Every structure is written in structure tokens, then in C-alpha cells.
Amino acid sequence: MAVEFNALEVFKIAEKIERNGATFYRKAAELFDDFNIRSLFQELAGWELRHEQIFAAMRKRHSESDYESKTPKSKDDLLLDAQAMAGLAVFGIKPDPAGVFSGKMNKRDIVKIAIEKEKDSIVYYTGLTDFVPDQVGKDKIDNIIKEEMHHIRILNQSLEQLELASS
């Protein structure tokens, strides 16, 4: 039996991704002794929670019929897109997104995982704009995408610092 998702469920997944992202970053912060990197991960956790609130507000503002009637695609196409989107869920729907950490991972490994998850988030949110019936919502998602890109730049800088420190 196939799992079916509609546009509103895809927004719920986006909320879950952000909530799990915050959990991931809080756990990562606990693994670092370095004040700057620990603070960075704590700040990223806060940003992810703010993104969750934005997605929740967007989902609540529209009824399911708003998404179905204003989206130019057919209901079947929208369902297929929603299923594909659900498959892209990056921080996942797992109850413990921080479970990826192992005792064998070093700090660089953790930062690299965070960078990849941010990149995957951007892919998910880019596709999410197909489910938003209004320009204001699309603009909010675009702003979140820009913030996720900023997260990548910050994480890349941290990775460079870690690599310099280890050489």
C-alpha cells in the first residue's frame, strides 16, 4: 500500500525537518568543547526552530482546498510531487535525528553531515514552493532557502577552521 501525501502534509514534513534539525544541532553543540563552534550549533538550532514556526503558520493559514484549487497541477500530479518531496525529507522523520552521531566521528565529520543536511533542505524547500498557492508564501520559503544557504557558508567556514587547526 502506497503512502500518500498532500500539500499540507508536505508542510508538516517541513516542520518536522526543522524540528529535527534543531535537535540535530543541539546534540552537535553538546559534542564540541570549542565555544565558537558550540555557539554556532546552538544558534543554528534556534534558526531551525524559527523556520518550523514559519512553516506551521503557512500551513495553518491555508486550508487543504486552498492548496488544491490554486495549485496549477492536477491532483494526481500534486500527489506524486508530494510523495517525491516526502522522500527528500532530510533531517528525516526519524524520532532521533541526532542518532547519526557515532563515537567514531570527529568534529569535521559532524560539520560535513550538517552541511549535507542543509543542502538537502534547500532541495526540499525549492520543491516545496510548488505547493504554495500565494506569492507571499513563496517569498517566505525563498527567505528560508537563503538562510539555509547562509548556514552552509557558516558551516563551511567552521569546517575550514577545523581543518586548519588539525593540520
**pLDDT tens-place string over residues 7-36:** 677 778 788 888 888 998 998 898 888 898
2: in domain: no
Residue 71's pLDDT is: 44
91: in domain: yes
Which of the listed ranges 5-9, 64-68, 126-130, 151-155 does the model predict with the highest average pLDDT?
A: 151-155
Across the range 59-74, mean pLDDT stands at 58
Whole-number Å distance between alpha carbons of 150 and 81:
27
1: in domain: no
Beta carbons of 45 and 91 less than 8 angstroms apart = no
102: in domain: yes
Whole-number Å distance between alpha carbons of 56 and 150:
22
Strand residues in 37-95 grouped as ranges (E): none
Q: Is the pLDDT of residue 103 over 90?
A: no
**DSSP at 12:** H
158: in domain: yes
pTM: 0.74
Calculate the alpha carbon distances from 115 to 10, 80, 155 in Å.
22, 28, 6
Whichever domain contains 124, its CATH number is: 1.20.1260.10
Please state the domain count of the chain: 1
30: in domain: yes
Residue 47's pLDDT is: 92
74: in domain: yes
Q: Is the pLDDT of residue 4 over 60?
A: no
**DSSP at 154:** H
Calculate the alpha carbon distances from 77 to 5, 73, 80, 133 in Å.
11, 6, 5, 15
Give tens-digit pLDDT for 119-145: 988 888 888 787 777 788 888 889 889
Q: Is the pLDDT of residue 84 over 60?
A: no
User: Which residue range(s) make up the domain with 76?
Assistant: 7-166
19: in domain: yes
Q: Is the pLDDT of residue 48 over 70?
A: yes
Residue 151's pLDDT is: 92
Residue 34's pLDDT is: 83
